[in-house]
Structure 1
Amino acid sequence: MKKFFSLLIVSALGGALSLGSYVLFFDDEPVYLEETPSIPDYTPVNFESVPGSSMADFSEAANESIHAVVHVKNMAITRNPFSNSRTGIALQGTGSGVIISPDGYIVTNNHVIQNASEIQVTLNNNESYMAKVIGTDPKTDIALLKIDAEDLDYLPFGDSNNTRIGEWVLAVGNPFNLTSTVTAGIISAKSRDLGMDSNISSFIQTDAAINPGNSGGALVNIHGELIGINTAITSQTGSYVGYAFAVPSNNARKIVEDILEFGDVQQGILGIRGVQASRLPAEMEINITEGVYVDYVEQGSGAHKAGIQKGDIINRIDNVNIRKFSDLKGYIDSKRPNDVVEVQVLRGNDEKVLDVKLTKYETYQIKAIGLEVTNANPEDLKRNKVDHGVKITRGLTPQMQNESLAGTLITAIDNIPVKNIDDVKRVMSGRDPSDPISVTFIAPNGEKQKYVWR
């Protein structure tokens, strides 16, 4: 805990981040790309359609899409350091967005508009509007904007579950500040887990060219339906080299609907912990390579009530085959609490089909200490020999992420016992933010420690 204690006196790192797109390295944390100050050089190329193939003509889908994709500018207000008066507007970064309704609702990536003082949206016809943030979900990197306009061209949501590997797709956005750009490719993979600190672990992978500035733009099928929100690339240069990733439309649509209906994202869970069957140790002698092995079933969860047991292998949910864990998480993330899903499990040599009612996954971010918590279950409390507490799910800052505190319990804040996240909310909302905050931790070994943030 020495490393943890040292972090308590280190001030938060600041820095200006360009908000155009991600660059990902498979073994590193994702970082933001800086917008290039000039357009890169071109080499002219010609595209010859495949003889006898009508699939090579994307003009109809492009025409339907290009008017529904907007240029998003993240603006920051500059102020006089002496008088704190407003002196002007500075451009922090740019990206793309997708109009999803004729009255001006726009989906984009959260990182495109993060920390913006003002957001300017420019349509394909060069009309500009100031946008209002309706809601954001940083975990999934989705944000919902609204502009005051009517009768806009928009993209209908397609069903990302029905997309197929090898299917033609278009990426529409504003790379390198080049407005209204369309690139073509195929779906290279589905349910791609990039290991990001994100709730989305089920990206659509495409080889359509996506570059800085494409973030928040549309991935569409040949029918002009929105099947993904372009979000990330993997590259050691910062530009497209063949791999790009989009949040599936079913996930994005669910997030948007949650924001509009509830004000935040409603996350349903099965109530299990699992591991990909292909990653099980050889000594377990399970000769199955596809599916999710159930390692733990939470008491009182939908999975527990439906009869799912430790040792079951989940290989199908509703009409979706489950080959790996990202298949399962990607599908469940498109559902809400109280939705009922049909789960097919392999138990020994028998297949069973069980109806599972999803339960709500509730978390709360204690931003003052850079940690997210959820309610602890009875097993968590018993294991740590306490009768109350909340469980840390993840760190919100790089410093706290490095401490690997997930699973550690918090039993008190400012010496006030906390039994659930509602208690945490009450304590945090009732305290003076300028006062030091003390937190009592119960480490996995049962050791109680208290730390103070000043």
Structure 2
Amino acid sequence: MKKVGLTLLTAFVGGAMALGTYKVFEKKSADNMSFEDRQKVYFTNNPATVSSAGAVDFTQAAGAVTPAVVYIRTSYSSNQGGGRNPLEEMFGDMLGQRQRPQGVQQASGSGVIISPDGYIVTNNHVVEKADKITVNTNDHRRFEAKVVGTDPNTDLALIKISATDLPIVKLGNSDEVKVGEWVLAVGNPFNLTSTVTAGIVSAKGRNIGIIGSENNDEDENPFGRTQMSQKPRLNKAIESFIQTDAAINPGNSGGALVNTKGELIGVNSAIASHTGSYEGYGFAIPINLAKKVLNDIQKYGSVKRAYVGISFTDLDPDKAKELNISRTTGLYVSDIVDGGGAAAAGIKKGDIITKVEGVPVYESSDLQERVGRLTPGDKLKITVLRDDAEKDFNVTLKGDIPAPKTAAVSKSAEELFNRLGASFQPLSNAQKAKYRVSSGVIVTQVRPGRLFDDTEIPEGSIITNINRQPINSIADIDKAITNLRNGHLVIKGYYPDGTAFNNMFQVQ
């Protein structure tokens, strides 16, 4: 009897602890919760039971993931111009875009619901030009979405629809992904919604030189088109793709790459193709990198990116011969940024980075993805080869100081919000005191070619009123731009230098 009583007591205590943990998460303010915390709350209440029975049975994983993968349609005016996105030109038209000579153009892609209250991850190149974003869910509901924020450096975007109790895909751990394991790609290729394909992980840590390549030089591309070569700079573009042979086609951009347990391990982003359609390989952004980017966008409106403070070159036999060194793997430090973390730690030009946190470094993606998950102020142990001996340095990462960036729209609040082309964060009490205002949000990101960019309202500006309504949050902005009077949009605030502005726009 004592054993029975002890067993019952143990079960009771365990259940109480689980319930208590759930209640702790439940009480946390949703605005302050990371997406991992939001998911813990969701899966505490809705336990994940996905488990593939055998290496070739994907039915349970597909059934769990498909309801949370959405179909995204975007429209934008043809006068935004500038040619096609290099992502489309070099790796196939992942958007499923149909070019129109004039008027409104349309494109399509995919997205993955990661929070029950309507947050969706997709690619930056799916939504970056959009005036209007329409999201169709798997259960045939339709919503208009607004862009919470984007990160061109990783080709990620976070958008939001007004909905609750949505199905979500569980975030996995891309560090545990192994080459050769089975994966599923879920998306909407060629407008064929809710399509599932299977394949294996072909490689990890691929750097294909596609992000941020529009400003770089052209070289011959092994994929048969032109590929942009990276110029020596601060290496802001972060590429460490998971490569898969699961069939990915136009319209799959922003869709899910999941393991056989139904866990999201990557966001599909590009394909290697001569024709623009599937020819064997696709590339997905690893979810461990995406988690940091998406949490920052949700919390701050933009990504708080950390930097080592170096320029470097991938080593190979040809580069080693050119530099007259014997080492053929690792990263050769070609320059040090004055005042950066690497300089403060003692890393020098000519050092060769061999390890990061004890893990061997073979190419740039091994360092870039690791740094991409971190925040200014975090420490990173970097091992370098100097004078034929390895030496460890603890580098305190520093943040990037963004340079200030020096329209007819519909009546839809979401569409108008997207046309503003900015992300916002509520002012702190200290910031309110600095500008002597009682309300306001700070502009944390300005997207090129949108209204804030065109009218030179830069990052760091303070928005205090829209249409005479005090602004303290995104919800206040939504309210202020709904049901405009006489089609006028009046935005008041302060530039970063404290100069006041009062701009009026005609909305048609």
Q: TM-score range by the shorter chain?
A: 0.5 to 0.7
> What is the SS of the residue equivalent to 1:239?
coil
1:301 positional shift: 1.4
Aligned residue runs from structure 1 range 326-345, under 5 A? 326-345=365-384
Q: 1: distance between equivalents of 2:71 and 2:499?
A: 37
More strand by share: 1
Q: 1: distance between equivalents of 2:313 and 2:108?
A: 38
> What is the SS of the residue equivalent to 1:63?
helix
Aligned to 1:159: 173
* Alignment partner of 1:241 is 2:279: yes
> What is the SS of the residue equivalent to 1:364?
coil
Aligned residue runs from structure 1 range 292-303, under 5 A? 292-303=331-342
Q: 1: distance between equivalents of 2:146 and 2:70?
A: 14
Aligned to 2:65: 65
Give the length in aligned residue pairs: 318
Aligned to 1:255: 293
More helix by share: 2
Q: 1: distance between equivalents of 2:172 and 2:74?
A: 28
Aligned to 2:309: 271
Aligned residue runs from structure 1 range 73-92, under 5 A? 73-76=73-76, 92=106
Whichever residue aligns with residue 121 of structure 1, its letter is V
Deviates more, 1:332-341 or 1:155-164: 155-164
2:197 is aligned, of 183, 191, 195, to 183
Aligned to 2:121: 107
Aligned to 1:208: 246
Aligned to 1:437: none
1:300-341, Cα deviation, whole Å (9 max, x unpaired): 211112221222221221254310112211221222211111
2:161 is aligned, of 147, 159, 176, to 147
Aligned structure 1 segments of 4 or more residues deviating by more than 6 angstroms: 427-433
Name stretches of at least 5 consecutive residues in structure 2 with no aligned partner. 1-52, 79-102, 213-236, 407-447, 450-459, 462-494, 504-508
Q: 1: distance between equivalents of 2:184 and 2:335?
A: 41
Whichever residue aligns with residue 357 of structure 1, its letter is T
Whichever residue aligns with residue 61 of structure 2, its letter is A
Q: 2: distance between equivalents of 1:59 and 1:315?
A: 42
1:351 positional shift: 2.0
1:394-442, Cα deviation, whole Å (9 max, x unpaired): xx89xxxxxxxxxxxxxxxxxxxxxxx99xx858999999xxxxxxxxx
Whichever residue aligns with residue 170 of structure 2, its letter is P
Decide whether aligned partners of structure 1 residues 428 and 202 sit closer, same or farther in structure 2, where only a CA change above 3 A counts: farther
Decide whether aligned partners of structure 1 residues 59 and 348 sit closer, same or farther in structure 2, where only a CA change above 3 A counts: farther
1:228 is aligned, of 247, 259, 266, to 266
Decide whether aligned partners of structure 1 residues 320 and 222 sit closer, same or farther in structure 2, where only a CA change above 3 A counts: farther
Aligned residue runs from structure 1 range 14-53, under 5 A? none
Q: 2: distance between equivalents of 1:197 and 1:431?
A: 35
* Alignment partner of 1:317 is 2:343: no
Whichever residue aligns with residue 316 of structure 1, its letter is K
Whichever residue aligns with residue 288 of structure 2, its letter is N
> What is the SS of the residue equivalent to 2:297?
helix
Whichever residue aligns with residue 194 of structure 1, its letter is I
TM value normalised by structure 1: 0.65
1:116 is aligned, of 118, 130, 137, to 130
TM value normalised by structure 2: 0.58
Deviates more, 1:305-314 or 1:165-174: 305-314
1:362 positional shift: 2.6
2:389 is aligned, of 336, 346, 350, to 350
Whichever residue aligns with residue 67 of structure 2, its letter is H
1:91 positional shift: 6.6
Whichever residue aligns with residue 300 of structure 1, its letter is G
Q: 2: distance between equivalents of 1:304 and 1:77?
A: 46
Whichever residue aligns with residue 208 of structure 1, its letter is A
> What is the SS of the residue equivalent to 1:73?
strand
Q: 2: distance between equivalents of 1:90 and 1:284?
A: 52
1:289 positional shift: 2.0
Decide whether aligned partners of structure 1 residues 430 and 326 sit closer, same or farther in structure 2, where only a CA change above 3 A counts: farther
Deviates more, 1:180-189 or 1:150-159: 150-159
Whichever residue aligns with residue 66 of structure 2, its letter is I
Q: 2: distance between equivalents of 1:107 and 1:429?
A: 36
Q: 2: distance between equivalents of 1:195 and 1:283?
A: 22
1:224-264, Cα deviation, whole Å (9 max, x unpaired): 21111111112111100001111121222211111112111
Decide whether aligned partners of structure 1 residues 297 and 213 sit closer, same or farther in structure 2, where only a CA change above 3 A counts: same
Q: 2: distance between equivalents of 1:155 and 1:364?
A: 36
State the identity as a percent: 48
Q: 2: distance between equivalents of 1:283 and 1:314?
A: 18
C-alpha RMSD of the superposition: 2.8
Aligned to 1:97: 111
Q: 2: distance between equivalents of 1:302 and 1:153?
A: 42
Q: 2: distance between equivalents of 1:322 and 1:334?
A: 16
1:192 is aligned, of 190, 193, 206, to 206
Q: 1: distance between equivalents of 2:309 and 2:299?
A: 24
Decide whether aligned partners of structure 1 residues 432 and 154 sit closer, same or farther in structure 2, where only a CA change above 3 A counts: closer
Decide whether aligned partners of structure 1 residues 299 and 277 sit closer, same or farther in structure 2, where only a CA change above 3 A counts: same
1:213 positional shift: 0.5
Contact map agreement 1:205 1:243 (CA 8 A) in 2:
yes
1:152 positional shift: 1.5
Whichever residue aligns with residue 173 of structure 2, its letter is D
1:134 positional shift: 1.0
